Amino acid sequence: MKMFSTPSVLLLAMALGAGAGIVASSLTLNSLYDYSVAISSSGPIRLAGERPQTEPSSYEQATQEVREKVSSATVEIFSKPSDVTGAYEPGEGQGSGFFITSDGWLVAAPYFFSIAETAQAKILFNEKIYSVEKVIDDSTSAVVFLKIDIANAPVVSFGEALSVEPGDYLFVAAGARELFVSSFFRSIHVGDISEPAETFSHRFELTMDAESYFTGAPVANSSGDVIGILTSEEFGETHTVLPLSAIKPAVYSLLKSGEIITLWFGAMVTDLSRAIGYDETFTRGYTKGALLGTITKGSPAETAGLTRGDIIISVGGQELSASLSLDELLTDYHSGDVLNLVIDRGGIISKVDLTLGSR
């Protein structure tokens, strides 16, 4: 756990930094078609957390890292002008976002206005107003990707949320002008205990009280890598963050094909690490793994021969656990990939190959 001695005032007003981060796969070309060529030649998107990290030695250095790498790539989103004059005042927007490509693709989470309103939104960046040229919705994560007309935009570096520990300092950059310093509180799961295999349920909480324009803001670690997106979900004195890994498949799909292709497994799944008190008739003594429920007709799961009651023990040699669930593992795969599963069916261990689909 990385701890620093911090000032008593944690809400820092700040000017735009001159530095810029790097996009996850160094994509600095001019069109999504060019991105597809770059991705095809360079392989799948990797998180910055998978590379060696340089830890800052002080709170001041960490703040500077975030200022240069994250705040410089953050925008404020307006669904309407601040007043009757038509002005857009910093700090009065309805959300935030951040650049993932240098030619203007942004990630945002517009919880306070609709997708139709998002298309009419205005983007405030570096004291200039931009119109939204294109909106692509990712229904699985509730984030949207926005395109504006800009060249050489600063972009963020992706980090890994799983490396963060309780008490670690995290930084929320809102509207490129304010930096809120918070700390990791705990990991949580949202939704029902049984969900479609593709539904990403992991979230984590920060100890903070945010304004509405913080929604969609990037959440960064002390190295200046973005590890999540602030959502509108609040629980008392905490605020919920969507880990960046939840949108990694959508980013890959968007930059490769120009659209978001949703992964399809085709089964209801219960995470046994969360299934406290389940009848052992179903769990068969397992305290981790993925218990399969309803199998969708015609789905990849049915085609692979999986049946209700099967328990997935591992995927691609990685054992499922409380810290690594099936939905989290699926973020590393794409439509057409083959999953090498080890399952328990009625006490008999066997191997099954499943080819992921799309819809």
64-68 mean pLDDT: 88
Q: What are the tens digits of pLDDT across the range 199-238? A: 998 888 887 665 555 788 999 998 899 999 988 665 456 7
Interatomic CA distance for residues 306 and 295, integer angstroms: 8
Q: What are the tens digits of pLDDT across the range 168-181? A: 889 999 866 788 88
pTM confidence score: 0.79
28-43 mean pLDDT: 42
Interatomic CA distance for residues 58 and 267, integer angstroms: 47
pLDDT of residue 116: 62
pLDDT of residue 146: 93
Write out the two tokens for 232. Answer: 């509108």
Place of tokens 């601040």: 82
pLDDT of residue 239: 80
Mean pLDDT of the chain: 80
Interatomic CA distance for residues 173 and 66, integer angstroms: 8
pLDDT of residue 276: 81
pLDDT of residue 20: 31
- Alpha-helix runs per DSSP H in the chain: 32-42, 59-69, 115-119, 248-257, 280-283, 300-303, 326-330
78-85 mean pLDDT: 82
Place of tokens 């857009």: 88
Interatomic CA distance for residues 63 and 221, integer angstroms: 10
Label residue 182 by pLDDT band (50, 70, 90). Answer: confident
pLDDT of residue 213: 57
Q: What are the tens digits of pLDDT across the range 273-298? A: 988 878 888 889 899 999 999 999 99
- Alpha-helix runs per DSSP H in 94-149: 115-119
- pLDDT above 70: percentage of residues in the chain: 79
pLDDT of residue 71: 92
More confident residue, 292 or 91: 292
Residue 342 pLDDT exceeds 80: yes
pLDDT of residue 175: 66
Write out the two tokens for 70. Answer: 């994250």
Q: Which of 179, 80, 168 is nearest to 124 (CA)?
A: 80
For each of the domains in the chain, give its residue range(s) and CATH number, in order of start: 11-257 (2.40.10.120), 263-358 (2.30.42.10)
Residue 117 pLDDT exceeds 60: yes
Place of tokens 């997106």: 229
Q: What are the tens digits of pLDDT across the range 118-148? A: 778 899 999 999 999 999 988 888 889 999 9
238-265 mean pLDDT: 86
pLDDT of residue 27: 36
Q: For residue 328, how many other CB atoms are within 10 A of its CB?
A: 19
Least confident of 7-16, 23-32, 44-53, 83-92: 7-16
Write out the two tokens for 74. Answer: 């953050």
Helix axes 248-257, 32-42, angle to 10 degrees: 110
Interatomic CA distance for residues 137 and 114, integer angstroms: 11
Residue 5 pLDDT exceeds 50: no
Q: What are phi and psi of 247, to 5 degrees?
A: -105, 0
144-161 mean pLDDT: 90
pLDDT of residue 35: 45
Strands 178-189 and 226-235: unpaired
Interatomic CA distance for residues 147 and 205, integer angstroms: 29
pLDDT of residue 212: 55
Place of tokens 């504006």: 148
